[in-house]
């Protein structure tokens, strides 16, 4: 089944990340928090984006934070299975919204999902 999952992933950046996750033994059918990172040059733009992104369904949006270089970042997370089409669709939606406030996307990230034999206490 793993080879079929590999073959079905498009040849793009998101597909490459998902293939790497499969190679690491991750179960891409298991939902987990997927965080999309958006960056802005100004605090007001980051806050305006965060307010607008909070209107999207099932999205948890962080309070904007600033790094040492003065770049403002907002993290928008959704609990979902890491499916290529869903990640790409939400990434595009957030990109369009961020660009309307002068921001741009800075990728996405997620943790490996704990399978039925993996949890905080170790194997069952």
91 is a domain residue: yes
pLDDT tens per residue across span 7-21: 778 889 999 999 999
The 8-class DSSP code of residue 22 comes to H
Region of 12 on the Ramachandran plot (φ > 0 left; ψ -120 to 50 alpha; else beta): beta
120 is a domain residue: no
73 is a domain residue: yes
Number of domains observed in the structure of the chain: 1
62: how many CB neighbours lie within 10 A of its CB? Answer: 16
- For strand 32-40 and strand 72-80, is the pairing parallel, antiparallel, or unpaired? antiparallel
Model pLDDT, residue 12: 94
pTM, two decimals, is 0.86
> Which residue range(s) make up the domain with 56?
30-110
pLDDT tens per residue across span 47-71: 999 999 999 999 999 999 999 999 9
């Amino acid at each position: 089944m793993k080879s079929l999952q590999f073959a079905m992933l498009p040849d793009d950046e998101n597909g490459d990340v998902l293939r790497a996750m499969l190679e690491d033994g991750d179960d891409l059918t298991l939902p987990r928090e997927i965080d999309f990172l958006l960056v802005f040059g100004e605090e007001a733009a980051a806050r305006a984006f965060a307010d607008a992104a909070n209107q999207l369904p099932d999205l948890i949006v962080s309070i904007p934070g600033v790094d040492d270089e003065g770049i403002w970042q907002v993290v928008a997370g959704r609990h979902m299975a890491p499916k290529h089409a869903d990640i790409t669709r939400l990434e595009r939606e957030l990109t369009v919204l961020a660009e309307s406030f002068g921001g741009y996307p800075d990728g996405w990230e997620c943790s490996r999902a704990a399978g039925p034999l993996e949890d905080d206490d170790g194997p069952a």
